[in-house]
Structure 1
Amino acid sequence: MTKPYAEVIGDPITQSKSPKIHNFWLAKLGIDAAYRACHVTPDQLPAYLGARREDLDWRGCNVTMPHKQAIMPLLDRIDPPADSIVAVNTVVRHGNDIAMTGTNTDAAGFLEPLAGDLAQTHYFRMARIIGTGGAARAIIAALAGHGFTLVVAGRDPAKARALLDELAPGGEHHTPPLAHFADPTDFAFDDREGCLDLVVNASSLGMAGQPPLPFDWSHAPPGSIAYDIVTAPLDTPFLHGARARGHRTIDGLSMLIGQAAVAFERFFGQPAPREYDAELRELLTT
């Protein structure tokens, strides 16, 4: 007997924590469904979607690299905010309708732990964002929509500028080279009272097996919030350095769980049981 299921697709896919998250919630809610990982290479993507259209048990999928943009022309509809971010991380199908809809839950997941801060009024908001990949697209669009002046740094400043021109046009944003943040600075920051400052690692730098993130915390104003989307390791050197300077930190599980919760409700029709977040975090870190 078959049962409803959703999955996460990507290349590679073994590192994904999504199956643990969704199956944890399914068990807590007593929903007879499953969530799994499926390795899909770029050349397999059209055939994968074609097969899932005919599978009425399939409720949708999360989409990881390198498919977040490549999947878009293969879908029937692109919903906000994926249409403006120009990246899809969630595909859903409604009931027995074979039409596939792409959306993006990364932006909502990223903003979730900042909700209390964003509810306040600030004289000025600035975010220093490291990275120009798929996750950075959602983060740039999300923060631009909340009135942030953006400083986007990557290996290629021209790519950073193109992202800002596409996703946050009209603002006085900046694109320094990544190396700008590597060395200490004696810059004297002005009074930051009433301001909201973020420093976001939206890249894979600092992830296990990847080069370290070259960021010296003298570049962050007092009172900045450090946010790292890396989940392996969870407590990165970037976050260690932030805490040593007295900054508040947000780790990568915050965004991962937040975006998964939005997708879960779309797949299975019930809100994720967030009252178990502490237990879920323990599961994901052991």
Structure 2
Amino acid sequence: MAKAFVVGHPIKHSRSPLIHGYWLKQYGLDGSYERIEVAPVNFGDFLKSFPTRGFAGGNVTIPHKEMAFLGVDRRTEQAERVGAVNTLWIEDGVLWGDNTDVTGFMAHLDASLGTGWEQDVETVLVLGAGGAARAVVAGLQNRPCKRIFVANRTLSKADDLVRDLRRGSPVGLETSAWEALGRVIPHAQLIVNTTSLGMAGQPPLTLDLAKAPRNAVVADIVYVPLETPLLAAAAAHNLRTVDGLGMLLHQAVPGFRRWFGVTPEVTPELRALILADIEAQR
């Protein structure tokens, strides 16, 4: 029986077991997926020992993604670019790490907007400069957009992101001061929020979208609530919107394939299951 896990601190609120448990049942597989609570001081030992406990691999969540990046033997190219690992597996006795947030975000955009959506996008605005922003930018750099602006309330963090991800990219990567967003929004056909603003319990993210291009798409990686204040404002301006739940679902696909040998589908039924759990926790 194949075994996998999600490890973090705290971990009790992770919805990964719901996602992977659904797929295990859906495909009739003999496997398990469990939450494991590990404090940062013990994470190095956990990383070395989990294969001896029969696990094929697992997911890594806050606050261990950077430590996992440093602790694996080999990393995928996208993990190298982002500087964080959220998916682990053993291959020929070697501990590998990947960052599936990159493909998860892009797969969700593709599923939500349809094939070829990026042909209309020349300029992108990414809000935030943390790990999620790095994954989003890394994914968008593989598409035919021309410019990506990164804006963060602490500009030095945006500067760091741009410096790290600019190398070898044909896409122009620039920073924007938070106070100057009004000059970028009229040119941005895709606006992506990767900050915690708008999340339940956090202040809302308020942007003036009145001058956004009429064909603009506004995406938010926050999924509690599903319609954030930013997405509500975008809808009020008749802009296309992409919520944050799909990124969570699509980023889980590559790991499941590695551990259990089946490529699962992100279905309306799975989405409804997670939404029901979100509602139950409110």
Partner of 1:70: 67
Partner deviation per Cα, 1:241-272 (whole Å, 9 max, x = no partner): 11111111111111111111122111111111
Secondary structure of 1:30 counterpart: coil
Alpha-carbon distance in structure 2 between the residues aligned to 1:226 and 1:90: 27
Task: Tell me the secondary structure at the aligned position of residue 217 of structure 1.
Answer: coil
| Contact persistence 1:53–1:99 (CA under 8 A) | no
CA distance in 1, matches of 2:206, 2:235: 16
Question: Residue type matched to 1:239 in 2?
Answer: L
Q: Secondary structure at the match of 1:214?
A: coil
User: Is the alpha carbon distance of 1:281 and 1:139 closer, same or farther for their aligned partners in structure 2, counting shifts above 3 Å?
Assistant: same
Letter of the aligned partner of 1:283 in structure 2?
Answer: L
Q: Are the aligned partners of 2:185 and 2:212 in contact in 1 as well (CA < 8 Å)?
A: no
Query: What do the CA deviations read for 1:16-61 (whole angstroms, capped 9, x no partner)?
Result: 2111111001000111111122222211111111220312x20111
The residue that corresponds to 1:110 in the other structure is 105
Is contact 1:228–1:252 with CA below 8 Å preserved after alignment? yes
CA–CA separation in structure 1 for the residues paired with 2:12 and 2:201: 14
3-state SS of the aligned residue for 1:53?
helix
1:173-197 CA-partner distances (Å, limit 9, x unpaired): 332233444xxx599947xxxxx81
Using the alignment, how far apart are the partners of 2:174 and 2:115 within structure 1?
A: 22
Change over 3 Å in CA distance of 1:206–1:187 after alignment to 2: closer
Partner of 1:193: none
Cα shift at 1:118: 6.2
CA spacing shift, 1:188–1:150, aligned 2, 3 Å: closer
Q: Is this contact kept in 1: 2:206–2:229, CA < 8 A?
A: no
The 1-side partners of 2:123 and 2:190 are apart by: 6
Deviation at 1:89, TM superposition (A): 1.1
Structure 1 counterpart of 2:239, one-letter code: H
Matched, 1:48 2:37: no
Task: Note the 1:79-228 alignment, pairs <5 A.
Answer: 79-94=76-91, 97-115=92-110, 119=116, 122=119, 125-148=122-145, 149-169=147-167, 171-181=171-181, 189=186, 197-218=189-210, 220-228=212-220
Question: 4+ runs of 1 displaced by more than 4 Å?
Answer: 185-190
CA contact (8 A) 2:2 2:259 kept: no
CA 1:152/1:187 → structure 2, altered by over 3 Å: closer, same or farther?
closer
Per mean C-alpha deviation after superposition, the further-off stretch among 211-220 and 115-124 is 115-124
Cα gap change, 1:24 to 1:121, in 2 (>3 Å): closer
In structure 2, relative to structure 1, the CA distance for the partners of 1:22 and 1:188 (3 Å cut) is: closer
Q: In 2, Cα distance between the equivalents of 1:187 and 1:128?
A: 7
Q: What letter corresponds to residue 73 of structure 1 in structure 2? A: L
Where does structure 1 lack aligned partners over 5 or more consecutive residues? Answer: 191-195
Distance 1:121 1:52, change over 3 A: closer
Whole-angstrom distance in 2 between the partners of 1:278 and 1:164? 36
- Contact 2:68/2:86 (<8 A) preserved: no
Instruction: Give the Cα–Cα distance (whole angstroms) in 2 for the partners of residues 117 and 273 of structure 1.
Output: 16
**Larger proportion of helix:** 2
Aligned AA (1:175): T
| Counterpart in the other structure of 2:232 | 240
User: Offset at 1:172?
Assistant: 3.8
- Given residue 266 of structure 1, which amino acid in structure 2 is its aligned partner? R
**Alpha-carbon contact 1:53-1:98 (below 8 Å) kept:** no
Aligned residues: 271
Counterpart position of 1:278: 268
Cα distance change on mapping 1:278 and 1:136 into 2, 3 Å? same
Contact 1:88-1:104 at 8 Å conserved across structures: yes
> CA-to-partner distance for each residue in 1:53-112, whole Å, 9 max, x for gaps?
312x20111111222222122111112221222221101113xx5421001111111111
Is the Cα contact below 8 Å between 1:151 and 1:176 reproduced in 2? yes
Cα distance in 1 between the residues matched to 2:102 and 2:160: 19
Task: Extract unaligned runs of 5+ from structure 2.
Answer: 277-282
CA distance in 1, matches of 2:65, 2:3: 20
